[in-house]
Amino acid sequence: MTSNLPQMRRREAVQALSALSALGCGGFMAAQGARAEEAWITSHPGELPLILTVPHDGDRSIFGVARRDQGTFVRDTLTQNLAQRTVEQLHQRTGKRPYLVMFNVARPFVDVNRAAEEAFESPKAEPAYRMYHDTVARHVAELKARFPRGALLVDVHGQGAEAQTTFRGTRAGLTVKALRAQHGAMAVAGPQSLMGELDARGYRVFPATHADASAQAIDLREDPRFAGGYTVATYGSHQTTGIDAIQIEFGRGHRADFEMPKHLADSLLAFLRRFGYLA
Beta bridge pairs of residue 251: 159
What separation in angstroms does the CA of 229 have from each of 21, 88, 195, 210, 257? 35, 26, 18, 23, 25
Burial of 191 (0-12, 13-18, 19+ CB in 10 A): middle
Please, are residues 58 and 107 in contact by the beta-carbon 8 Å criterion?
Answer: yes
* pLDDT score for 252: 98
Distance CA 242, CA 152 (A): 9
* Domain extents in the chain: 33-274
Q: Are 59 and 39 in contact (CB under 8 A)?
A: no
Per-residue pLDDT of the chain (279 residues; tens, 9 = 90+): 444 434 434 444 333 333 333 334 445 656 554 466 679 999 999 999 999 999 999 999 999 999 999 999 999 999 999 999 999 999 999 999 999 999 999 999 999 999 999 999 999 999 999 999 999 999 999 999 999 999 999 999 999 999 999 999 999 999 999 999 999 999 999 999 999 999 999 999 999 999 876 656 789 999 999 999 999 999 999 999 999 999 999 999 999 999 999 999 999 999 999 999 998
The two beta strands, 244-251 and 152-159, are parallel
CB contact at 8 A, 200 and 191: yes
Whole-structure pTM value: 0.88
SS3 50: strand
The length of the chain, given as a count of residues: 279
- Nearest C-alpha neighbor of 143 from the set 74, 24, 241: 241
> What integer pLDDT is reported at residue 221 of this predicted model?
97
Class of domain 33-274: alpha beta
Burial of 145 (0-12, 13-18, 19+ CB in 10 A): exposed
In DSSP notation, 129-186 reads HHHHHHHHHHHHHHHHHH-TT--EEEEEEEESSSTTEEEEESTTTGGGHHHHHHH-TH
Dihedral angle computed from the Cα positions of residues 252, 91, 182 and 150, in that order, rounded to the nearest 10 degrees: 110
> Vertex 30, ends 24 and 33: CA angle to 5°?
135
Q: How far apart are CA 24 and CA 29, in angstroms?
A: 5
Looking only at the bridges linking them, the beta strands covering 152-159 and 50-54 are parallel
Please check whether residue 67 is in contact with residue 108, taking contact to mean a CB–CB distance below 8 angstroms.
yes
> Position 223: which residue type?
D
